[in-house]
Amino acid sequence: MCAVPIPVLKSMVIQPSFAGKKSQVIREVYYENAQKTLFLCKERFWEKQGIRGGSSFTDGVIEVVSYPQDYNRSITKGKGNALHDKRGVLLASYNIGEDAYALGNISPFIQREIIKREIEKVHGLTEGYLDNIVIDSKTIDWVREPWFFGAFQMFLPGQKKDFLYSTFKPEYDNRVFFAGEHTSVKNAWMQGALQSGMAAANDVAYYSMIHKYQR
């Protein structure tokens, strides 16, 4: 059962090679990139501005800022706004496509500076305010992650019709099966990944019986 993302499959030596169409899919299918940067903040400046959970959608390269939900939990436990001055983790930037490449291709230090300046603008803070607030950061740039080399499959126009069947078609005389979001009509979603797993399990059961009675 092969459920690794296609960019990973592309980096593997496959001998003997898969069928021509499958090899074409592995070579040509497009994967989108995504990038997330988390900031560990020594105080929750957003909660002081009345923001409790949810996200800000911006026109900037950071695209989306998402706020932790634990404020709401502290309210329901009767702690009021006790978290204002506590540390909090902010999803400071969540972007896909061109913006993910733009941020991902610059050095971590400059990347962090750009994100801080954009967040200051979004929140109406003075320039440099976050220099003293952000203690640490962590970035995931999916195209650079060795177990993924991309965020999710994004068929280019016409590719779904041309390639989808070949993404899940078994290889080596129905002995190698394929699953994962990239083999599903609902590619790029968890639902697609789950459905593809169930479909592949059914295929394995079916072809196991066929092979058994062919012996």
Ligand X SMILES: Cc1cc2nc3c(=O)[nH]c(=O)nc-3n(C[C@H](O)[C@H](O)[C@H](O)COP(=O)(O)OP(=O)(O)OC[C@H]3O[C@@H](n4cnc5c(N)ncnc54)[C@H](O)[C@@H]3O)c2cc1C
Residues forming the site for ligand X (CB under 6 A): 3-5, 8, 34, 142, 147-148, 151-152, 180-181, 188-191, 193
CA–CA separation, 193 and 185 (whole Å) = 10
Which is closer to ligand X, CB of 47 or CB of 63?
63
Supply the minimum distance, in Å, between the C-beta of residue 133 and ligand X. 25
- Residue 1 CB, shortest distance to ligand X, in Å, is 11
Alpha helices in 11-123, H assignment, sequence order:
20-28, 45-48, 70-76, 98-104, 108-122
Whether the Cβ atoms of residue 117 and residue 127 lie closer than 8 Å to each other: yes
Distance CA 209, CA 206 (A): 5
- Shortest distance, position 14 Cβ to ligand X, whole Å: 12
Q: Which is nearer to ligand X, 43 or 171 (CB)?
A: 171
Query: How many beta carbons lie within 10 A of that of residue 17, not counting itself?
Result: 11
Query: Among 109, 134, 105, which residue's Cα sits nearest to residue 45?
Result: 134
Which is closer to ligand X, CB of 38 or CB of 75? 38
> Which C-beta is closer to ligand X: that of 116 or that of 183?
183
Considering the complex, state which of residue 129 and residue 155 has its C-beta at the smaller distance from ligand X: 155
Q: Give DSSP secondary structure letters for 164-212.
A: HHHHH--BTTTTB-B-SGGGSTTTTSHHHHHHHHHHHHHHHHHHHHHHH
Nearer residue to ligand X within complex by CB, 118 or 181: 181
Cα dihedral 17, 22, 24, 25 sign: negative
CB of 131 to ligand X, least distance (A): 27
Instruction: Collect all residues with Cβ–Cβ distance below 8 Å to 194 and sequence separation of at least 6.
Output: none
